[in-house]
Amino acid sequence: MHDLQAYHYLYVEDDPLSREVMQMIMGTAMGIETLTIFDDSSNFMERLQGLMVPHVILLDIHMKPHNGFEVLDMIRQDSRYNSTTIIALTASVMNEEVTQLRERGFNGAIAKPLSIQAFPTLLRQILEGQAVWHIAD
């Protein structure tokens, strides 16, 4: 059983409302004190390298200036982050995007808007290696 409070997390998201929800879920409801949030993907690798290596990176897919796929590629090119779990967060309900997320190397995907009660379970399942591609309810 993973101790979710023991991990370091990074969330990259340019939508303020989504950031607020994540703070509420991870910070308050899950009691995680090790969540860092970037409010866009500019200078991403430079900022990432300034942090302790995160166990989990949660990436919004549709953000600027680099979208989630581009950010994923940057991370995967740096061997320091080989063991980091990278999860896509998307409001898309299109099946082709699910296929793309899987093929490009994300470890899982969770649909936005997020549910307080469902998110911790989905996160835990992804960390346990289960196939979670939770795009459409």
Partner 1 sequence: MKSIVIDELIDSIEALDMVAPGKLTLAIQRLNTEDVALLAERVHHENRDRSWKAAVILSYVNHPVTLETMRQLLTANHPFLGHIAFDTLERYAPDEDIQTFVKALPQSIATLQPRLVRLIEKRGDKRAIPVLMTLLPKAKSSLLRLTIIQALGVLGDDEVREVIEGYVEDDDHHVRKRAMIALEQLTPSER
Residues that bind partner 1 (CB under 8 A): 15-18, 20-21, 24-25, 28-31, 62, 64, 91-93, 112-113, 115-121, 137
Q: What is the 3-state secondary structure (H, E, C) of the chain?
A: CCCHHHCCEEEECCCHHHHHHHHHHHHHHCCCCCEEEECCCCCHHHHHHCCCCCCEEEEECCCCCCCHHHHHHHHHCCHHHCCCEEEEEECCCCHHHHHHHHHHCCCEEEECCCCCCCHHHHHHHHHCCCCCEECCC
Query: C-beta of 49: minimal distance to partner 1 in Å?
Result: 27
State the nearest-atom distance from the C-beta of 98 to partner 1, in Å: 16
Indicate the residue among 51 and 136 with the shorter CB distance to partner 1. 136
Taking the least distance from each CB to partner 1, the nearer of 106 and 119 is 119
Minimum CB distance to partner 1, residue 29 (Å): 5
